[in-house]
Structure 1
Amino acid sequence: MFSRFNFIPVLRGHWKGLTDGRYTPPRPDISARLATLVPIGVFVLMWLRQGRLSTPGALLTGVSLLAGGMLSAFTHLSTLRLKVKEWVGSSEVSRYEVEKGMLDETAAHLLTGSLLCALDAASLVIGMNVSVTKDGHLYGFWAAFAAAISSYVLIIFLFLVPRLYSAYVEMNDVSPNLNGFVERQKRKR
């Protein structure tokens, strides 16, 4: 019954995705994993400095829109993953292993980001009802908590953009002239 509310596999997939796949077996990506500690610093800083969120409603709107965007990106990613699965049946099986891994990793990041956006929205709504100044500023625990979650969502977003672009480039055989991963050759004079 409670398995419907078990988010641990999503979070575990997100954590496993923070690896450096250039090695066999993959090694932890230390810089990515260290970046996940930033929200703790944000929380502590907001709490100790008695930080406030002056426009929590705007943050709530942004988080809600981002949750929707991440969920729609996930549905598109699922379609791409099915396409790769069809291609794997062909003769180029090994070529698509890297793309499959990138899509699987990105899916876990997108779903983790969506979950955190929902948690962030809930914390903002609760905070806006129990911990707001007369000027409408969110303060205290709820401000620090929302800021920490928002910073983690931002980090996930920063993880996702290069991964989504890489998946797009690889899946669609983007021309080297337009591929951002290919450096231009300097012209000889």
Structure 2
Amino acid sequence: MSRFDISAVIRGHWKSLSFGEAGVGKDRLAHVVFLGVPGVLAALTLALRWELNQPAALLTAVALLISGALSVFAQMVGLRARLAERDGEWVERRREGLDETVNHLLAAVLVAIVDAIVLVVGMNVGGTGHVPWYIAWAAIFLTAYLGLLLLVCVPRLYSAYTTTFSVPPHLDGWHSSMR
């Protein structure tokens, strides 16, 4: 049954959210945002009885995201290997950022899988092709959580890229100078 044990991925994702930028202190704001934003949207869905009238488009996006995220993971393994060859505090922070991104990216894959299942079940429950409000709240919660996961990953991926490939300061967004 250990093949189906996803607890390490979930624990790694939550640990990554638990620490501040330098791995020090609690990042409570991250917890509030990651549970609060999807929670508010799910509550609104239940209160206002929102339905998903065109869930096929969302299902397609979620399915594509699963394959894309797994492809990005493969690329990240290569970036991590290249960063392992370098030394320095700056590079170490980028490696940690990349490790954190892996946690979030694989958590995104798991959330997307559950989201896809919820959407398929919802599309088939009523027999009308739309997702009724009593199931739509879960799809909206999961999709919002997924969006936040991807939003967190983008700066980390950019940082790993600029560090690994020594992007010149005048093109590197992490450097504050415009030249």
TM-score (norm 2): 0.91
What's the counterpart of residue 27 of structure 2? 29
Distance 2:139 2:69 in 1: 18
Computing the radius of gyration from Cα coordinates, the structure with the larger value is 1
Distance 2:126 2:39 in 1: 21
AA partner of residue 153 (structure 1): L
Q: Which has the higher strand share?
A: 1
What's the counterpart of residue 79 of structure 1? 78
Structure 2 residue aligned with 1:154, among 122, 129, 147?
147
Runs of 4+ aligned residues of structure 1 deviating over 4 Å after TM superposition are none
Asked if residue 145 in structure 1 is aligned to residue 138 in structure 2, the reply is: yes
Where structure 1 has 5 or more consecutive residues not aligned to the other structure, the ranges are none
AA partner of residue 31 (structure 1): L
Asked if residue 174 in structure 1 is aligned to residue 167 in structure 2, the reply is: yes
What's the counterpart of residue 158 of structure 2? 165
Asked if residue 68 in structure 1 is aligned to residue 67 in structure 2, the reply is: yes
Distance 2:151 2:90 in 1: 26
Query: How far has the Cα of 1:138 moved from its partner?
Result: 1.3
For these two proteins, the number of residue pairs brought into alignment is 177
Contact 2:98 2:160 in 1 (8 A): yes
Structure 2 residue aligned with 1:104, among 94, 99, 105?
99
Kindly report the root-mean-square deviation, in angstroms, between the aligned alpha carbons of the 2 structures. Answer: 1.7
Contact 1:131 1:140 in 2 (8 A): no
Contact 2:16 2:100 in 1 (8 A): yes
Distance 2:141 2:59 in 1: 14
Distance 1:80 1:20 in 2: 23
Query: How far has the Cα of 1:171 moved from its partner?
Result: 1.6
Distance 1:185 1:162 in 2: 19
Contact 1:53 1:139 in 2 (8 A): yes
AA partner of residue 79 (structure 2): L
